[in-house]
Amino acid sequence: MPILSYTITVIAAYLLGSIPTGFLVAKARGIDIRTVGSGNIGATNAFRILGKGPGFFVLFMDALKGWFAVEVISKFAPQILSVSVPDDYLRITAGVAAILGHNYTCWLRFKGGKGVATSAGVVAALVPWSLLIVLGLWIVLFVATRYVSVASIVAAFALPFATWFTTDHNVRLTIITGALGALAIYKHKANLQRLFNGTENRIAFTKKEAQ
């Protein structure tokens, strides 16, 4: 029965995470977001192509997928099956499945986003103090460099260290957040290549800079 609980949790969390929010919001406006800007379906490209309002909506919904998977879906299977399963393990399982669903959505031939917002939602549920630390680091780096990718990569790298120091050296959560950070960095491999080539796009803070 515990195996069935994990199976149901993985499937439900994956399907939730696989909802391609950015793609659907852009499609509602007659745009295939995969063919414009960076070609990514995530919030950064949504901001760039669709504007602040839709961009914030995509960011919020992608993060909500991760949080909801951990806080709600992880409790669903044990309740309907009336079984006892270690809560932490199911929460982690649900969070990881939601991120994989976002990054490799079955609705778009398993090509999804980079998982930063969805990972943030998962981290907010699992280790909220760690999220505050890496979010602060992300903001500082973004303002300093105007590269979303640089801020995201460094924040992903710092996540397991923040988890280690904010959870009384919880090895399990540190390993999990380390794996999530590594996955996020891997998904930024194209950005890393553009950074090395000097072709990565900066975010313009003013209209003058955007011209």
Averaged pLDDT in 10-residue chunks for the chain of 211 residues:
86 98 97 94 94 96 98 88 80 97 97 96 97 97 95 98 96 96 96 94 65 46
Q: Can you tell me which residue has the tokens 């998977």?
A: 69
Q: Supply the pLDDT for residue 211.
A: 46
User: How many whole angstroms separate alpha carbon 72 and alpha carbon 89?
Assistant: 14
User: How many whole angstroms separate alpha carbon 109 and alpha carbon 200?
Assistant: 26
Q: Give the single-character DSSP code of 146.
A: -
Q: Supply the pLDDT for residue 82.
A: 76
Closest CA to 47 of 67, 25, 66: 25
Closest CA to 174 of 185, 184, 164: 164
Q: Supply the pLDDT for residue 1.
A: 58
Q: Supply the pLDDT for residue 76.
A: 87
DSSP letters along 90-150, please? HHHHHHHHHHHHHHT-GGGTT-----HHHHHHHHHHH-HHHHHHHHHHHHHHHHHH--HHH
Q: Supply the pLDDT for residue 207.
A: 52
* pTM exceeding the 0.85 threshold for the entire prediction: yes
Which residues make Cβ contacts (< 8 Å) with residue 100, sequence separation at least 6? 14, 17
Which residues make Cβ contacts (< 8 Å) with residue 30, sequence separation at least 6? none
Give SS3 for 150: helix
Helices (H) and strands (E) in the chain, counts: 12, 0
Q: Can you tell me which residue has the tokens 């379906």?
A: 41
Dihedral (C-alpha) 39, 11, 90, 167: value to the nearest 10 degrees?
Answer: 0
